[in-house]
Structure 1
Amino acid sequence: MATEVGATRPRAIRGNAGGRTGGRRPAALAVLCVAVLIANLDNTILNVALPTLVRALNAGQSDLQWIVDAYVIVFAGLLLTAGSLADKVGRKGTFLAGLAIFAAGSAWAAFSGSVGLLIAARASMGVGGALMIPSTLSIISDMYRDAAQRQRAIGVWAATTGVGVALGPIIGGLLLAHFWWGSVFLVNVPIAALGLAAAVWLVPDSRNPAAGTPDLAGALLSIAGIGLVLWAIIEGPVRGWSSAQVIGAGAAGLAVLGVFVAWERVSPHPLLDLRFFRDRAFGAAIPAVATVNFGLYGALFVLTQFLQFSLGFTPLQAGLRTLPAAAAVVAIAPLSAVGVRTLGPKLTMSAGLACIATGLWLVSGITATTGYGGIVAGIVLLGAGAGLALPTSSGSVVGSVPGGNAGVGSAANTTAIQVGGALGVAVVGSVLTTRYQDNVGAALAGQHVPAAAMAAVRGSLGGALEVAARLPGAAGEQLAQLARAAFASGLDLGMLAAAGVAAGGLLIALCWLPRRPR
């Protein structure tokens, strides 16, 4: 079993992580952060390409959600196993293997010719990301033993995470302005190759000699449970929320997750020692940070479509208009360490979540005629909130687990981030789709629209606009306006739901996070 919470931390066995690498720590940190950047970039670089995929691959709204979430489901489901594996066999080797698999999956995704192949390729990239990300944070934790230095390094790591999320649409827009849609994946390959070459020389190795055998049964249960729940949420608008398939999958997913929790209680080598949750620094930070990415990922998923479909921006123009969020992350994230030292994790995390909830609430007021100026304040607040909350939660979680379990602790933190993001895309996207389909269906009732055209209109806003473009004169313009209004209405409801989730995270932080850092 893992070390008891609060017990003396076992020292991890280091390779070259001692004083000999002290001068190389900044360079090693930079290499690790580049890997974190491309892994998190991939979560949102695809968002700006979604309208292109509607046209290139005939993807519907639920297809788009699966293309985004296939990566996140596998990523999140394997993170805890990967963190345990890294602790046992060595964090550097696990990191290098993950980076190589991520690069191979990116090349496959770039040349996928169908929705199904692209979803499969995205899932393979999730395997690489799961091996790579928890290793980076545990290596950083081992390189920086001083608490203040570790918090600053984690601040850089978390800032890179936020920057990757925020810069994804911008870089995606630049690539789509000059290349085909596969370029948003192919760009990962040369960066990963350079990262591999640099990491072999610069990144130190470490492991936990007391780490147990990775819990494969727990990994399978977590993937199955998360996957079934997300399937039910994403497919609900398509198959009907009251359908036996959706209800059955959702109930089965919750049951499997219940079995996962029960198994973790009795497993001799659990993925995550549930006793960690007794520590408020861990137990409150995990759900709170999940609500951060719920709002951030959910907002970026729908806003990049709004910018292109409703406001008519090109992918590059849409990506550039998310730049205020990236700028806010870059400006605010380094200040989170100051906030933790002076105000404590409770107030710093709460301030971040308050910014996110407010930003989502502001965005929820848009209409079909709202311009970019109507959403920019909300975008800035989303970035500022992520810049405060992500480093704070990461430092709280990593600082609360025994040192030998740094890989599992960092994996738990990243799992919360990724599961929150996957749920954000699934829930916000499904709420939007349900409201959109209801409004469009009601408006076109009795209009004798051909079945194929109606399916395209109900499938996505992009499909509706393509149908509208083929209609003559006023009829086409009327359909386009109707579809845009329905999409804006669904977006508003989705953002309100996300704001409510962020407000729930704020309450968790205020009630349970400790006032002072570890």
Structure 2
Amino acid sequence: MRSALLNLRSCASEPSAQPSRRSGSLTLAAMSLGYAVVQLDITIVNTALASISASLGGGVSELQWVVSAYTIAFAAFILTAGALGDRIGAKRVFMAGFAIFTLASLACAAAPNAACLIAARCVQGFAAAILVPNSLALLNHAYADEKARGRAVGVWAAGASVALTAGPFVGGGLIALVGWRAIFLVNLPIGLIGLWLTFRYADETTQHRQHEIDLPGQLAAIAALGSLAGALIGGGALGFDNAFVIAGFVSAAVIGLLFVWREARASQPMLPLSLFRHRMFAVTALVGLLVNVAYYGLIFVLSLYFQEVNGFSPFATGLAFVPMLGAVLPVNLLAPRVAERIGAPATIAAGATLSAAGCLALLGIASGTSYLAMCLQLVVISCGLGLLVPPLTSTLLGSVEKPRSGIAAGVLNATRQTGSVLGVALFGSLVAGRGAFIAGAHASLMISAAVLLGAAAAIWLAARSTS
């Protein structure tokens, strides 16, 4: 793998010497830490949901906002963050994001009530939006060769897999020993190490000052996504026939249409609709959305299932997630080689189908179902995710020219995080009704299987039509 970690600077704004292998490796390590800390705060927070509820009060809807505030800000700002990296340089923007994320984590740990925690989670999500696309832009800048880039993305994704796996276990242990606030303090040393590695070893990307920031489009994206998430979460608490819930859906639709109208006419749009004329780009973005609806929606439901239905402690819940999330790492590392052998679209379709099969096999769960009876199905779901993410990411990045790599990475991650918002909001609403948790969990699994099979069909048909 070391031979692949050559930091090629063909896209740099000024010519310079080729960096050492060590420098390239540590640059990749810094980018991996940036993505890892973003993923860590998904699983580690899910493990703490019951403890946060007991400490700060609130029911399922408040817990949905603790999770969704992060992902809404992540999804809404990620496109602007990618464009900002293209404009002034991905390295300096990435470092700013790491610093903000670290400070916001400290604010989460000190939150005196649920409202303050939700607000701090919004800031965390904003910083996460900065980190992810710019880490990918720096990798795309460093690895010009498609095969080397695919393997580097595999390592980048593997770092996030380690965080996903360690998050529940570490979080459960910290909650048992110290309390839920400690889960946010873990981010402080990671942030400091990532900032130093980036400053010391990463090379700046080409600056494109002509790329402007689309403020009206940014505001419309926040309003549309926030309205949609609010309507879905409110539907679980108030009923989907409630006037305010209906108004939320209508507002989301109207603002969403205005967003598209704005982006079609803006000279420097936040979301260049022209990117979607490339069939593979459009389909990979869609697959990213559908996969996250299923995966992260189910993680939210399973966290509540383990703790509130089966009575697991936070530490036991963390242990329960370890096999599921731990399966992602080795498959992430294997995925680029599978894609080289059978092609990226076939690998993505196989991963989505595998995850769908795991969801269907889990439909027998009920109150009191033993963990051993569901462990294999959970591992299968995660193996499918691990198989599809690296080729999905590399395929989308390879479908656009390098100067647009930041915005392309932003589109993929915006659609994925939008899927996370929708999954948590929808599935949380399905299980929020009194006495309806198991029925809601079954409905969530059926919906997940359907969207995953839809994702597999979409990528397979797109590959056939372009071959």
The TM-score with structure 2 as length reference comes to 0.94
Alignment of 1:221-370 (within 5 A): 221-370=220-369
Shift, 1:41, TM fit: 0.9
CA separation of 1:192/1:515 partners in 2, compared to 1, >3 Å: closer, same or farther?
farther
2:7 counterpart residue number = none
2:417 counterpart residue number = 418
Shift, 1:136, TM fit: 0.2
Q: Is residue 278–residue 399 contact of structure 2 (8 Å, CA) maintained in 1?
A: yes
Shift, 1:23, TM fit: 4.1
CA distance in 1, matches of 2:126, 2:16: 26
CA separation of 1:317/1:232 partners in 2, compared to 1, >3 Å: closer, same or farther?
same
1:489 counterpart residue number = 439
1:20 counterpart residue number = 19
Residue 312 of structure 1 aligns with an amino acid whose one-letter code is: G
Q: Is residue 17–residue 204 contact of structure 1 (8 Å, CA) maintained in 2?
A: no
Alignment of 1:18-57 (within 5 A): 19-57=18-56
Q: Is residue 366–residue 438 contact of structure 2 (8 Å, CA) maintained in 1?
A: yes
Q: Which has the larger radius of gyration?
A: 1
CA separation of 1:173/1:16 partners in 2, compared to 1, >3 Å: closer, same or farther?
farther
Residue 244 of structure 2 aligns with an amino acid whose one-letter code is: Q
Shift, 1:402, TM fit: 0.8
Shift, 1:15, TM fit: 6.2
CA distance in 1, matches of 2:118, 2:152: 34
2:4 counterpart residue number = none
Shift, 1:311, TM fit: 2.4
Helix, strand or coil for the counterpart of 2:327?
helix
CA distance in 2, matches of 1:228, 1:160: 33
Residue 457 of structure 2 aligns with an amino acid whose one-letter code is: L
> Is 1:374 the counterpart of 2:349 in the alignment?
no
CA distance in 1, matches of 2:112, 2:163: 26
Shift, 1:21, TM fit: 4.9
1:509 counterpart residue number = 459
Q: What is the total number of aligned residue pairs between the two structures? A: 458
CA separation of 1:415/1:17 partners in 2, compared to 1, >3 Å: closer, same or farther?
farther
Alignment of 1:84-233 (within 5 A): 84-209=83-208, 211-233=210-232
Shift, 1:162, TM fit: 3.6
Q: Is residue 213–residue 268 contact of structure 2 (8 Å, CA) maintained in 1?
A: yes
> Which ranges of structure 1 fall in alignment gaps of 5 or more residues?
1-10, 441-485
Residue 272 of structure 2 aligns with an amino acid whose one-letter code is: D
Shift, 1:210, TM fit: 5.9
CA distance in 2, matches of 1:354, 1:164: 25
CA separation of 1:274/1:238 partners in 2, compared to 1, >3 Å: closer, same or farther?
same
CA distance in 2, matches of 1:363, 1:427: 19
CA RMSD of aligned residues (A): 1.8
CA distance in 2, matches of 1:326, 1:18: 40
Shift, 1:16, TM fit: 8.1
2:449 counterpart residue number = 499
> Which ranges of structure 2 fall in alignment gaps of 5 or more residues?
1-9
The range that moved more, 168-177 or 130-139, is: 168-177
Shift, 1:516, TM fit: 8.9
Q: Is residue 292–residue 356 contact of structure 1 (8 Å, CA) maintained in 2?
A: no
1:60 counterpart residue number = 59
1:4 counterpart residue number = none
Q: Is residue 430–residue 437 contact of structure 2 (8 Å, CA) maintained in 1?
A: no
Q: Is residue 88–residue 209 contact of structure 2 (8 Å, CA) maintained in 1?
A: no
Q: Is residue 236–residue 428 contact of structure 2 (8 Å, CA) maintained in 1?
A: no
1:322-379 CA-to-partner distances (Å, cap 9, x unmatched) read: 1112221111111211122111122100111011111222223211131102221221
CA separation of 1:427/1:240 partners in 2, compared to 1, >3 Å: closer, same or farther?
same
Percent of aligned positions that are identical: 32
CA distance in 2, matches of 1:515, 1:146: 25
CA separation of 1:18/1:424 partners in 2, compared to 1, >3 Å: closer, same or farther?
farther
CA separation of 1:45/1:395 partners in 2, compared to 1, >3 Å: closer, same or farther?
same
Shift, 1:84, TM fit: 0.3
CA separation of 1:319/1:13 partners in 2, compared to 1, >3 Å: closer, same or farther?
same
Residue 230 of structure 2 aligns with an amino acid whose one-letter code is: W
Residue 217 of structure 1 aligns with an amino acid whose one-letter code is: P
Helix, strand or coil for the counterpart of 2:118?
helix
